[in-house]
Amino acid sequence: MKKEILFSMKSPYRDDFNIEGYRFGEGEKTLAIVGAMRGDEIQQQYICAKMVAVLKDLERKGRIADGKSILVIPSCNPFSMNVSKRFWAMDGTDINRMFPGYDKGETTQRIAAALFAQIKDYRYGIQMASFYMPGDFVPHVRMLQTGYEDVETASHFGLPFVTIRKPLPYDTTLLNYNWQIWGCKAFSLYAGQTNYVEDSTSMQSVEAILRFLNKEGIVAYRNKNAGYESVVLDEKDLCNVIARRAGIFYRLKNTGMAVKEGDVLAQILDPYDSCVLEEVKAPVDGVVFFAHNKPLALEHAILYRIIKEEEI
């Protein structure tokens, strides 16, 4: 294992801003794993940290294939995590919306440019990502339909679902999109949630990455289980459940649960007398794919996303 500073930036008030990378094996640029790009992606950074420990042990045992190299970057934004801000603390910009970057631009553009220069030439790219809405997900692989996506290879992670969607104009600045345009097979892994470490979903993600590495012939590793036969979903086919009232969100159904049409998923309570303002009900039969996880719900916010039974 080789630890190195991939990018450094001076700060007048704090320690230098450093992005650190861990390299394993030698040879072609085979796989890059990118962790937290936002300050609340704690679980995403934890998964990468666990991968560093596992790969260090596999390298010591000689189980990384000859001529293959792996780069793990646990955090691309330690500054925002240190001050408990999701986005760049100075101006609220998002590093993951700045690719491929510009080395003479704003701070987050320069960070994105330096990071992309390090990772753009790898054959495979894995980003530990988070969603723009607060909530919990069933662990899954997500891909943008650029024309270069490889859905079959995405199933090698053995996670329950692989989701695809057509990119919108503003998605062209995402890491996943630009990785694909530069010829990398890019996958975004959604590991349940952010803000805190959940052991079951984080270890499921670690096992999924190792399963992928083994199937692609990058490492020799015996997984604890064979994983799932992934179901491929188009995100436009997911059923969104919208809040009709605002108030305290009392969740009754969690991700991965099977629900029937009419089942009560949650209640929205009056914050002053706790009376039920709305019973949030399932509009279709299916499985809960996403569930809001904040204590307050805003009117018209997406509270649940359900995989329709006919899609499974």
For residues 165 and 132, is the Cβ–Cβ distance under 8 A?
A: no
Q: What is the rounded average pLDDT of the residues 241-267? A: 97
Q: What is d(CA 30, CA 68) in angstroms, rounded to the nearest whole number? A: 6
Domains of the chain in start order, with CATH, are: 2-234 (3.40.630.10), 238-311 (2.40.50.100)
pLDDT for the residue numbered 21: 98
Structural tokens at position 311: 């899609």
Q: What is the rounded average pLDDT of the residues 181-194? A: 90
For residues 218 and 70, is the Cβ–Cβ distance under 8 A?
A: yes
Closest CA to 161 of 190, 197, 185: 190
pLDDT for the residue numbered 312: 66
In the chain, % of residues over pLDDT 90: 86
Mapped onto helix, strand or coil, the DSSP state of residue 276 is: strand
For residues 9 and 95, is the Cβ–Cβ distance under 8 A?
A: no
Residue 10: what residue type? K
Q: What is the rounded average pLDDT of the residues 191-211? A: 87
Q: Is the pLDDT of residue 247 over 90?
A: yes
Q: For the whole model, what pTM was predicted?
A: 0.93
Helix (H) / strand (E) containing 24: strand 17-25
pLDDT for the residue numbered 194: 76
Q: Distance between alpha carbon 211 and the CA centroid of its chain, in Å?
A: 17
pLDDT for the residue numbered 90: 87
C-alpha distances out from residue 203 to 103, 192, 290, 292, Å: 36, 11, 19, 22
Q: In 76-135, which ranges are E strands?
A: 124-129
In the chain, % of residues over pLDDT 70: 99
Q: Is the pLDDT of residue 115 over 80?
A: yes
Q: What is the rounded average pLDDT of the residues 47-57? A: 97
Q: What is the rounded average pLDDT of the residues 146-172? A: 95
Residue-wise pLDDT tens digits, 126-156: 999 988 888 889 989 999 999 999 999 999 9
